[in-house]
Structure 1
Amino acid sequence: MKAEQISTVVEPILEQFALDLDAVEVKPAGKRTMVRVVVDGDGADGGGPSLDDIAEATKAVSAALDASDVTGAGSYTLEVSSRGVSRPLTLPRHWRRNHDRLVKVSLADGTEFTGRITGADDAAATLDVDGTERRVAFADVSNALIQVELNRKPRGSRAPEEEN
């Protein structure tokens, strides 16, 4: 069972649900094999795929894998999940889909900083780093991880002083 072969079966199915294939991982899990399919997408609100989106896609992916021969004769467990915050931002779409999120960036030259994503195009992201706009070329980034903010205000919310 090879991740590349599974990808060729899974990718067209995910496209039907407006989801991008982010990764396929195949790992032994006892007598079975764990097939983990990581997806990404804009979702209806632009904030990523919903649980319902992933559930519907999982049913279709499972049926497609069962109908193909890429999983072989052995038993497997399928897990379909979204990227989550623990996966690094590696593609322009990852940066775009995390607009307004806090990200810790490590550059190839060893520089590290944390800033809020304010924009992204195909070549670079724009971040607010301590009130200063900083444009970062993706080619210069060695690692970028979303930072979990427990007290983060939801998108579009206003500060209390703005409500009057």
Structure 2
Amino acid sequence: METLEAKIAELIAPTLEDLGYELVRVALMGSRGVTLQVMAERADRKAMDVDDCADISHAISAVLDVHDPIDSAYELEVSSPGIDRPLTRPEHFERFKGFEARVESAQPIDGQKRFKGDLLGLRDGAVALATERGEVAIPIEQVRKAKLVLTQALIAAAAEEARG
């Protein structure tokens, strides 16, 4: 069964791509009101600014108004993934190889669901991590959550990327 978040992602991803952005994540949150969080990044990998978020917000608001996938009032929040970003696509695990990450699996692997270590990339359909206990392979379809850990190396790489 497709989740509402997946349906919304399908609706807005083409619009984002047409504008030169990539969808990172869609999340519905809130207990007192619904917030639709859309996280995107520039396809050219340059830093996002407020104007980028405003452009995305206006464009996807129009799409959401037409398709009306959420059956209640909601607030739209558009943001960039930030430095310690979530890893949501298989290519992210390759792109950020060498950086420290936290990965949570849907099912235990050797009795464990949460892992922290250096990303080794994708190997045979699994996310490879070098952890303190050795190397672990988490099948990509079992990855429940993954994000980069804010480290000095990540901050330095982000600063270098921003300098172009």
Fold similarity call, TM over 0.5: yes
Contact 2:8 2:26 in 1 (8 A): no
Give the drift of 1:22: 2.5
What TM-score do you get using the length of structure 2 for normalisation? 0.59
What is the 5 A alignment of 1:137-152? 137-139=138-140, 144-149=146-151, 151-152=152-153
What is the CA distance between 1:75 and its match in structure 2?
Answer: 4.5
Q: After TM superposition, list the pairs within 5 Å mapping 1:66-77 onto structure 2.
A: 66=65, 68-70=66-68, 75-77=73-75
Matches within 5 A, 1:2-41: 3=5, 6-16=8-18, 17-20=20-23, 22-25=25-28, 27=30, 29-30=32-33, 33-39=34-40, 41=41
2:102 maps to which of 101, 104, 115: 104
Q: More helix per residue: 1 or 2?
A: 2
Give the alignment of 1:15-164 within 5 angstroms.
Answer: 15-16=17-18, 17-20=20-23, 22-25=25-28, 27=30, 29-30=32-33, 33-39=34-40, 41=41, 43-45=43-45, 50-51=48-49, 53-66=52-65, 68-70=66-68, 75-84=73-82, 85=84, 87=86, 89=87, 91-105=89-103, 108-111=109-112, 114-120=116-122, 123-129=125-131, 134=135, 136-139=137-140, 144-149=146-151, 151-152=152-153, 154-155=156-157
Q: TM-score, structure 1 length as denominator?
A: 0.59
Change (3 A) 1:154 1:4: closer
Contact in 2 for aligned 1:14/1:57 (Cα 8 Å): yes
Secondary structure (helix, strand or coil) at the match of 1:59 reads: helix
Q: Deviations over 1:1-38 (max 9, x none)?
A: x54554443222122133135224164645xx422223
The CA deviation at 1:70 is 0.4
Task: Tell me how many residue pairs correspond in the alignment.
Answer: 146
Paired AA for residue 25 in structure 1: L
Gaps of 5+ in 2: 160-164
Q: Distance in 1 between matches of 2:45 and 2:9?
A: 27
The structure with the largest alpha-carbon Rg is: 1
Q: Which amino acid aligns with 1:117?
A: L
